[in-house]
Amino acid sequence: MRPHVELIHEDDYVWHPAELPYAVGEVRERRLSSDEEDGSAALSLAFDSPTRRDAGVPSADTEFFVLEGRLRHGTTDLGPGGYLHVPKGVPMEELTVEAGSRLLHWREYGPSDFEPGGARWPNASGDVTEWDSGTMEWITAPTNGPLTPLYIKLLHRDEKTGFYTRLVLAPKGWTDHRLAHHPCYEEFYTLSGRMTYNFGDIDPGTYCFRPPFVKHGHFVAQEDTTWIIRSDGELINWYTTDEWIKWGGEAENYEPHQAPVPSTLPIRSRSRGDWDNDGM
């Protein structure tokens, strides 16, 4: 259970005390989206003091991405663009974050519970992933239609489920007029650039969580635009053409049982302005 959030800007949201059990320091969080049934969440963190947490075991798949400042995991020092993924039930090392840092933080498939000094769970799968994304090369992504390709840096992918986290770059002028939906959820946070979009203007700090089978639509990149994107499975683009008024259409490359589903009005924040239901 996770609501459709499209589109919000994080600056429109209030701060809360951060939910980082056993961390010592002053940390605030903005709750971009959350699942109140299993504890999954997407959070923006601000560190008002140096912060430290001892080694231990998280109860959820855990990810951090450094926007500003520095994060140290054990002996690995990560600056802006640094990425850390720790699978559920897998021990992580001591975590320290310098004052003034800004991090994105995700929990998946579990709450914020943390076991200091804990051992690896018997059913845990995978290992810790650490990346300095600034040292990675952009790879051309397979595309179906747009004249200008997208580029990706793959940060993490679960070989069993297809769940992935990656950076995506849309060059200035990239456009796609079609309406698409996917069999998995799609979540993004905008790191840089500017784009017009059927749900509103995209600029740094904008965030979206779109559940499976919910349509989204046309884009035009006004500048080179970079996102960090997460999906809980293989992201397949299913396109609808000759769309009916408000709902329906001829399936172009998917079966009838894979049709998009109606969405209630998505959660939007005030700076994104009014929405005219374009694309829905």
The whole-angstrom distance between residue 72's C-alpha and the CA centroid of its chain comes to: 21
Q: Where are the domains of the chain?
A: 12-119+126-134, 136-260
Superfamily of domain 12-119+126-134: Jelly Rolls (2.60.120.10)
pLDDT tens digit string along 182-192? 899 999 999 99
In this structure, how many other beta carbons lie within 10 angstroms of the beta carbon of residue 227? 24
The whole-angstrom distance between residue 134's C-alpha and the CA centroid of its chain comes to: 18
pLDDT tens digit string along 193-252? 999 988 889 999 999 999 998 888 788 999 999 999 999 988 888 888 777 656 678 888
* 136-260 belongs to CATH 3.30.70.100: no
pLDDT tens digit string along 247-280? 678 888 999 888 887 666 787 888 877 777 666 6
* Residue 179: partners with Cβ closer than 8 Å, 6 or more residues away: 215, 216, 217, 218, 239, 240, 243, 249, 279
What pTM, to 2 d.p., does this model score? 0.89
Whether 12-119+126-134 shares its CATH topology with 136-260 is answered yes
Rounded Cα–Cα distance for residues 243 and 237 (Å): 16
249: buried, middle or exposed (CB in 10 Å: 19+, 13-18, 0-12)?
middle
Q: Taking 70 as the threshold, does the pLDDT of residue 63 lie above it?
A: yes
